[in-house]
Amino acid sequence: MRRVIVIGGLGLFGRTAAERLAALGIDSQTASRGSGADVRVDAEDGESIRAAIRAGDLVVDAAGPFQSRSTTLLEAAIDVGFDVLDINDNLAYAEQTIALAEQIEKAGIRVLGSASSVSAVSAAAVNLSGISNPVRLRGFIVPASRHTANTGSAISLIGSVGRPVRTLRAGELRTLRGWDEARRFPMPQPVGNAVGRLFESADAVHLPRIWSSLVDVATYVDTNTWGVNTLLRLAGRSSVVRRLLESQVELGTRLSRSLGSNTGGLGYEIEDADGKVKRLAILASEAGFVTAVAPAILAARAIVEDRFEPRGLVKPDEHVETDELVKYLESSSIRLAQLT
State pTM to two decimals. Answer: 0.95
Would you kindly state where each structural domain of the chain is located, as residue ranges? 4-116+290-334, 117-284
Q: Using H for helix, E for strand and C for coil, what is the string for the chain?
A: CCCEEEECCCCHHHHHHHHHHHHCCCCCEEEECCCCCCEECCCCCHHHHHHHCCCCCEEEECCCCHHHCCCHHHHHHHHHCCEEEECCCCHHHHHHHHHCHHHHHHHCCEEECCCCHHHHHHHHHHHHHCCCCCCEEEEEEECCHHHHCCHHHHHHHHHHCCCEEEEEECCEEEEEECCCCEEEECCCCCCCCEEEEEECCCHHHHHHHCCCCCCEEEEEECCCECCHHHHHHHHHHCHHHHHHHHHCHHHHHHHHHHHECCCEEEEEEEECCCCCEEEEEEEECCCCCHHHHHHHHHHHHHHHCCCCCCCEEECHHHCCCHHHHHHHHHHCCEEEEECC
Class of domain 4-116+290-334: alpha beta
Contact assessment for residue 9 and residue 31, using Cβ atoms and an 8 Å cutoff: yes
Nearest residue to 194 (alpha-carbon basis) of 217, 218, 224: 224
C-alpha 39/C-alpha 69 separation (Å) is 20
Nearest residue to 194 (alpha-carbon basis) of 1, 339, 21: 339
Nearest residue to 283 (alpha-carbon basis) of 151, 117, 149, 134: 117
Task: Tell how strand 83-86 and strand 58-61 pair up.
Answer: parallel
Class of domain 117-284: alpha beta
In tens digits, the chain (340 residues) has pLDDT values of 799 999 999 999 999 999 999 999 999 999 999 889 999 999 999 999 999 999 999 999 999 899 999 999 999 999 999 999 999 999 999 999 999 999 999 999 999 999 999 999 999 999 999 999 999 999 999 998 776 777 777 788 888 888 999 999 999 999 999 999 999 999 998 898 999 999 999 999 999 999 999 999 999 999 988 788 888 888 888 888 888 888 888 877 887 778 778 889 999 999 999 999 999 999 998 778 899 999 999 999 999 999 999 999 999 999 999 999 999 999 999 999 999 7
C-alpha 232/C-alpha 50 separation (Å) is 41
pLDDT at position 86, please? 98
C-alpha 157/C-alpha 65 separation (Å) is 12
Contact assessment for residue 219 and residue 200, using Cβ atoms and an 8 Å cutoff: yes
Q: How far is CA 52 from CA 33, 74, 75, in A?
A: 12, 14, 15
Contact assessment for residue 176 and residue 164, using Cβ atoms and an 8 Å cutoff: yes
